[in-house]
Structure 1
Amino acid sequence: MKRLLLAASLFAACSLHAQQLQTFNITADDWTEGEPPKEVFVVDGTIKIAARDGNKAIVIDPNPITDASAQLGVSAAGNASIEARILAIKRGRSTPRFGVSVHGMSGHRLIVNAAKKSLDLVKGDQTLASVPFAWTSEVWVKVKLEAKKGAGDAWTITGKAWAADAAEPAEPLIKHEDSKLKGQGKCAIWATPFSGEPVFFDDIKISVEAAPAAP
């Protein structure tokens, strides 16, 4: 029995060691305006590269108005985090919805819901947590989502949002515990431009534990 436990411990240690932390700092300044490069994998919607406030950005276009998303970086096999600087616009009473996600299309999403004046943690069709959040049209905001594995099957999901010209909050606005995650899949950006105006994403920072690339 002791040998079996030792073998299992060594296997777990080797599996953990095999994962590599990979980071990506994504800006669009070196990309040509128009169609996105291969680094931006469009899942749904119309996504392009365009300029805003003197800098290029990844833009989710409102034509058509849909839950648009694009995946970035490499697929996680463990912890994952994404931070993005985002600008969205209201028109009349119509407001957008936008945010970021980890662990693929079925993973957790952190969404600024301007119509509800809230910051929501969503998975699938379920809102897991929601806190008040004051969003301002045409002002850059930062959104950050992290998923960290604890002991056993425990995962902690945390989310923050703050004005881009302010300091990052020390504590998360949202914290959620989960025990049913695979911890696999790419990080992504999301937007539903209900207002008919584009949503801009820039200065995207991704950090994932991933399996090493094949030789």
Structure 2
Amino acid sequence: MLADGKLYVGTENGKVYILRPSATGVEVLDEDALPDGPLGGPEAIMASPIVANGRVIITSMDGMYSIGVDSAGSTGSTGSKGSGSLEPVAHVQVFPHEALLNPGETKTYSLKLFDAKGNLVREAKGADATWTLEGGLGGSIAADGTYTAAPGHSAGFIRATVVNLGGVSGQARVRVLAPLPYSFDFENPAAEAPPSNWMGANGKVFQRTVEGVGAVLMRPRDDTQGRRAKVFFGRPDSTNLTVEADVRGREQRRQRGDAGLINQRYILTLFGNAQKLELQPWQAADEMTVRVPFAWNADTWYHMKLRVENLANGSVHVRGKVWPAGETEPAAWTIEKIDTIGHRHGAPGIYADGISDVYFDNVKVNRNQ
């Protein structure tokens, strides 16, 4: 962002730069680092800074920062109790907006009320609203806005309705994840839709019984640009896991899709058309990818296994193997990498490029043994 003759730049490694550009170069006026985030690394900045009311606003993945000089009568600060708008309430925000909970864990919610222009009117207590659970979310919620998670996996929404303000309401999303290990065989699903607590799955993968294949999780053939699916079903702070699954692909219109596993942000991918196996720390950085030739047949089940281990020196050891399903697991790993600037945490999941039908079965996630 350019403001007052200066460039304000945020980076993915949590650095903030204030630069003065000129015809001959750039002068670095200031360089600062944001604090470490809740997962241990620096707070990544993915969004551009903005200017509002004489202040620079920087948004990271974990927080929001306002840079400026406080002064009497400043309008750049956040509204507080007793200093809000006098306009009617038009919107309700439920806090926290998003929660990832363990079974049986509790979370107490609060409310902020805004007018039609987005100005804060006032904060409200949980007891000022009527609370309901929606979207299949299990558990219970008390009159004061305290939610208690149900046992097992669950996901959905908590809705707060302020009756004395004409029924205006707002909602927050909740996911409840049971502890490891995970095992999914897709037999007798309640619906075709994937489990509600999975991320990136709706409209991408489906639980179906396919003739000649069986009860599977399917990524159907998709001719659009959105045919690639990354589906996550664990906590984003997961570490030192082994993810495995049976995979199978078809050949349609002389094209074959790709199937893969995700573990701690690493992707192990079987490429159908290219007949190769890749281990990718980051898909956009091809120079960091390890690959080996791997011939695999259409309409045949293979078993994939991806193990990630954090090492004491800060590196990450990533290993993958693939073999025909039903055969004895080979002792040797098919592909591996020591990543010296590795990912230290990340959710488990699966990957599919639906240029043709791709199937998954017997998906398992365990802690490393």
1:137–1:49 Cα change, 3 Å: same
In 2, the alpha carbon distance for the partners of 1:39 and 1:139 equals 30
| 1:167 corresponding residue in structure 2 | 328
- TM-score, normalization: structure 2? 0.46
Q: Name the counterpart of 2:270.
A: 112
Q: Given the alignment of the two structures, is residue 144 of structure 1 paired with residue 305 of structure 2, yes or no?
A: yes
- Gaps (5+ residues) in structure 2? 1-178
Which of 78, 81, 84 pairs up with 2:239? 78
Structure holding more strand per residue: 1
Q: Is the 8 A contact 1:45 1:68 kept in 2?
A: no
CA distance in 2, matches of 1:147, 1:61: 29
Asked whether the equivalents of residues 316 and 343 of structure 2 are also in contact (C-alpha less than 8 Å), the reply is no
Shift of 1:181: 2.7
The offset of 1:63, in angstroms, is 3.4
Q: Quote the Cα distance in structure 2 between the aligned partners of 1:114 and 1:97.
A: 5
**Cα separation, partners in 2 of 1:125 and 1:193, compared to 1, 3 Å:** same
Deviation at 1:32, TM superposition (A): 2.7
Q: In structure 2, do the counterparts of structure 1 residues 138 and 33 end up closer, same or farther at CA, with 3 Å as the change threshold? A: farther
Contact 1:31 1:37 in 2 (8 A): no
CA drift of 1:92 comes to: 4.0
Counterpart of 2:229, as a letter, is: A
Contact 1:60/1:200 (8 A) holds in 2: yes
Say yes or no: does 1:200 pair with 2:359. Answer: yes
How many Å separate the matches in 2 of 1:169 and 1:119?
A: 16
C-alpha distance in 1 between matches for 2:310 and 2:298: 35
- Which residue among 39, 61, 64 is the counterpart of 2:220? 61
Contact 1:40 1:71 (8 Å CA) reproduced: yes
Residue equivalent to 2:255: 94
Aligned to 1:86, the other structure's residue is in SS state strand
Q: Call closer, same or farther: CA 1:74–1:207 in 2, change over 3 Å.
A: farther
CA distance in 2, matches of 1:95, 1:199: 9
CA deviation after TM superposition for structure 1 residue 45, in Å: 5.4
Q: How far off its partner does 1:30 sit?
A: 3.6
Partner of residue 121, structure 1: 279
SS at match of 1:110: strand
Between the two proteins, the alignment pairs up a number of residues equal to 184
**Which residue of structure 1 lines up, in the alignment, with residue 341 of structure 2?**
180
1:69 Cα deviation (Å)? 2.1
Cα RMSD (Å): 2.1
Partner-residue secondary structure (3-state), 2:348: strand
Secondary structure, aligned partner of 1:183: coil
**CA shift for structure 1 position 190:** 0.8
Report the Cα distance in structure 2 between the residues aligned to 1:22 and 1:87, rounded to whole angstroms.
25
- Measured after TM superposition, the shift of residue 152 of structure 1 is 1.8
Q: Which of the pair is proportionally richer in helix?
A: 1
**1:39 to partner: Cα distance:** 4.0
Q: Deviation per CA, 1:145-190: give whole Å up to 9, x if none.
A: 1111122202110011111021111111111001223422211111
Over 3 Å counting, the alpha-carbon distance change for 1:45 and 1:125 in structure 2 is: farther
Name the CA distance, whole Å, in 1 between partners of 2:239 and 2:361.
25
Give the C-alpha shift of residue 62 in structure 1. Answer: 2.1
Give yes or no for contact 1:28–1:57 (8 Å, CA) kept in 2. Answer: yes
SS of residue in 1 equivalent to 2:321:
strand
Q: Does 1:157 align with 2:315?
A: no
**Higher gyration radius (CA):** 2
